[in-house]
Amino acid sequence: MSTIIEVKNLAVSFHTYGGEVQAVRGVSFSVPRGSTVAIVGESGCGKSVTAKAMMQLLSCPPAEYKGGEILFNGEDILQKTERQMERIRGNEMGMIFQDPMTSLNPTLTIGRQITEGMMKHRAFNGKEAKEEAIQLLHLVGIPQPEQRFDQYPHEFSGGMRQRVMIAISLACQPELLIADEPTTALDVTIQAQILQLLKKLQEEMGTSILLITHDLGVVAETCDYVVVMYAGVVVESGTAEEIFANAQHPYTKGLLQSIPRLDQQRAQALRPIIGSPPDLMDPSPGCPFYARCEQAMRICKNHHPTLEHVNGEHYSSCWLRHPMAQVVR
């Protein structure tokens, strides 16, 4: 299976008044063609920055690409000019944003917002674009698409708006869809509908999906591969089954333990991961999870563990994997 996009050692920093924030510090992963890959992690771990970097959407300054490459169909996105990026954005890569309430322009009809990408990339005239857009609206499950075409975002509910967002991102049938927390702002029933819709569209159009989320429930439901990020680095990655059944990294284990379970005893409290993520203004040279890790060892403080092969496509970055670890303990 070929990969559609491969991120190699990506590093992104933000320049702020307080100093340089190293939001992403060497992230590598790849998305096999036709599959769904999830990037999981808590707020501020660099997921969204990674996603935006993949389309060169970060405004520089304050952002700065410090290194690495993003190979999309073999070509490095970070080397492309703005003009070249315009041809890729929306056309070969689509993006869905987190909050459908604020991600649509309130003063333009949704029809206009769906068709403008098509008219640019696919050279459609107004009539063709309208027909295509109505089909898309139908496809994403919006009833009465002909009437809805001329309506404004405020006339849609949150779930419907996210469907419109999906229609916009799919307008040019991109090969890769980046969904940046597409269900975070929606209530649970709508979340399930949107995820099903994405799954259905993926089957019909063969799109590869990169799903950014902090919701492991969403991951379990939809994804083939999982990349767990923490403090701007990848701590563990592998197939969804491996990650859920055989998590190696204490952070991944912590995440899994902090989800409420149906078969849990009532009296049993949830087990959160104590503490908060490290300051990325001045990251330590050691493992970023050191301060919160229950199994931290001396070596973790000053030496960053490398991403080690576990089995199959499963990798984990933790000193506990080291043969000496058992001896030390």
Partner 1 sequence: MLNYIFKRLVWAVVTLWVVITITFLLMHSIPGNPFAKEGTMPEAVYNNLQQYYHLDEPLAVQYVIYLKQLAQFDFGPSLKSKTITVNDYIVNGFPVSLHLGIQALIIAVCFGLIFGVIASLNRNRWPDYLAMVLSIIGISVPSFILATFLINYVAVEWRLLPVATWESWSHTILPSISLAMMPMAYIARLMRSSMLEVLGQDYMYTAKAKGLSRHMVILQHAFRNALLPVVTVLGIITTNLVTGSFIIEKIFGIPGMGEMFVIGIFNRDYPVILGSTIFYAAILIFLVFLVDIAYTFIDPRIKITGEGE
Task: List contacts with partner 1 (CB under 8 A).
Answer: 52, 55, 57, 82, 85-91, 94-95, 97-99, 102-109, 113, 116-117, 120-121, 152, 154, 165, 168-169, 171-172
CB-wise, 186 or 318, nearer to partner 1?
186
Q: Kindly list the distances between the CA atom of residue 47 and the CA atoms of 65, 80, 88, 91, 226, in Å, as whole numbers in the listed order.
A: 15, 22, 21, 22, 12
Give 21's strand partners. Answer: 14
CB-wise, 99 or 221, nearer to partner 1?
99
CB of 90 to partner 1, least distance (A): 3
CB-wise, 147 or 302, nearer to partner 1?
147
Q: Distance between CA atoms of 243 and 88, rounded to whole angstroms?
A: 32
Coil, strand, or helix at residue 49? Answer: helix
Q: Distance between CA atoms of 18 and 89, rounded to whole angstroms?
A: 32
CB-wise, 118 or 318, nearer to partner 1?
118
CB of 117 to partner 1, least distance (A): 4
Is the CB of residue 226 less than 8 Å from the CB of residue 246? no
User: Prior bond to 278 cis, omega within 30?
Assistant: no
CB-wise, 36 or 103, nearer to partner 1?
103
Tokens (6 digits) for 10? 């990506």
CB of 43 to partner 1, least distance (A): 17
CB of 54 to partner 1, least distance (A): 11
CB-wise, 52 or 314, nearer to partner 1?
52
CB of 107 to partner 1, least distance (A): 5
CB of 293 to partner 1, least distance (A): 35
Which of 108, 18, 11, 121 lies closest to 67 in space, CA to CA?
11
C-alpha neighbours within 13 Å on the C-beta side of residue 50: 37
